[in-house]
Structure 1
Amino acid sequence: MHKEKERYAESNLTAIIIGRAIEVHRALGPGLLESAYRDCLAYELQLAGLYVEREKALPIVYKEVRLEHGYRLDLLVEGELVVELKTVETLTDVHAAQLLTYLRLGQFPLGLLINFQVKMLRDGIKRFSNFSLREPQ
Structure 2
Amino acid sequence: MLKRFHHVAIICSDYQRSKAFYTQILGLKVVAEHYREARQSYKLDLALPDGSQIELFSFPNPPERPNRPEAQGLRHLAFVVEDVAAEKQHLENLGIEVEPIRIDPYTERCFTFFQDPDGLPLELYQEAE
| TM-score interval for Structure 1 and Structure 2 normalised by the shorter chain | under 0.3
TM-score by length of 1: 0.26
- Greater helix proportion: 1
- Greater strand proportion: 2
TM-score by length of 2: 0.27
